[in-house]
């Protein structure tokens, strides 16, 4: 592995805010199920399952957002070595205003699907699309998107999408 060109680290205040919002949502749903239970057992179970899911996803997001994303000559990977997108598979990078993308993030379009993966708050991969962003700084994510766009253009012989 080569030296990273850019490192995208999560913003600490955003991580904390995301965790607090998820935990409060889970606690409120469980509180509603316990203190003001619906008369129908199905709705009560629905509130409990939703509350537990919010707590679980809050913790998963907290742990998942503790690992940085690295951009190097090979493409995008996590700090722990998990490959997000090899440079050879990246077709384009899009950070346009009306693109369906994570908060403060960008979308990568791939040549072929790489399988589904999700690290809450940092990135997701579904089909031929990868979303990078969430609890990251908008300025840092923009730098990474621009660097990745230039790498893809250089790889393709200088063609602009």
Using one digit for the tens of pLDDT, what is the confidence trace for 3-39? Answer: 778 888 888 888 899 899 999 999 999 999 999 988 8
Domain total for the chain?
1
The proportion of the chain whose per-residue pLDDT surpasses 70, expressed as a percent, equals 96
What is the domain range of residue 28?
Answer: 7-161
Q: Give a yes or no: residue 158 inside a domain.
A: yes
CA angle 159, 160, 161 (to 5 degrees): 115
Q: Give a yes or no: residue 38 inside a domain.
A: yes
Which pLDDT score, from 0 to 100, does residue 28 have? 96
Using one digit for the tens of pLDDT, what is the confidence trace for 115-145? Answer: 899 888 889 999 999 999 888 888 888 999 9
Q: Give a yes or no: residue 155 inside a domain.
A: yes
Q: How far apart are CA 15 and CA 65, in angstroms?
A: 7
Which pLDDT score, from 0 to 100, does residue 134 have? 85
Q: Give a yes or no: residue 114 inside a domain.
A: yes
The answer to whether residues 11 and 136 touch, using CB atoms and an 8 Å cutoff, is yes
pLDDT band per the 50, 70, 90 thresholds, residue 157: confident
Q: Give a yes or no: residue 2 inside a domain.
A: no
Per-residue pLDDT, averaged over 41-47, amounts to 94
């Amino acid at each position: 592995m080569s030296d990273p060109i850019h490192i995208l680290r999560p913003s600490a205040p955003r991580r904390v805010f995301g965790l607090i919002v998820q935990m409060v949502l889970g606690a409120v749903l469980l509180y509603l199920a316990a203190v003001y239970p619906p008369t129908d057992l199905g709705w009560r179970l629905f509130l409990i399952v939703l509350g537990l899911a919010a707590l679980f996803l809050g913790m998963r997001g907290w742990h998942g957002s503790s690992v940085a994303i690295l951009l190097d000559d090979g493409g995008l990977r996590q700090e722990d070595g998990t490959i997000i997108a090899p440079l050879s598979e990246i077709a384009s990078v899009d950070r346009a205003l009306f693109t369906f993308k994570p908060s403060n993030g960008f979308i990568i379009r791939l040549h072929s699907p790489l399988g589904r993966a999700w690290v809450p708050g940092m990135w997701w991969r579904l089909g031929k699309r990868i979303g990078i962003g969430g609890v990251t700084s908008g300025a840092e994510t923009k730098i990474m998107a621009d660097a990745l766009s230039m790498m893809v253009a250089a790889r393709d012989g200088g063609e602009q999408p």
